[in-house]
Amino acid sequence: MPDAPAADIQVYINGQAQRVPAHCHVAAALKRAGLAHSRRAENGQPRAAFCGMGQCQECRVRIDGLDHCLGCMTPVAEGMRIETQA
Residues that bind ligand FES (CB under 6 A): 49-52, 54-59, 70, 72
Amino acid at 20: V
Residue pair 30/74 in contact (Cβ under 8 Å)? The answer is no
Smallest distance from the beta carbon of 28 to ligand FES, in angstroms? 11
Between 10 and 57, CB nearer to ligand FES: 57
Smallest distance from the beta carbon of 84 to ligand FES, in angstroms? 13
Residue nearest to ligand FES (CB): 72
Rounded distance between C-alpha atoms, residue 24 and residue 4, angstroms: 15
Smallest distance from the beta carbon of 1 to ligand FES, in angstroms? 34
Between 6 and 51, CB nearer to ligand FES: 51
Rounded distance between C-alpha atoms, residue 85 and residue 35, angstroms: 12
Bridge-based pairing of strands 81-83 and 8-13 is parallel
What's the CA angle centered on 23, arms 84 and 7, to 5 degrees? 110
Between 18 and 38, CB nearer to ligand FES: 38
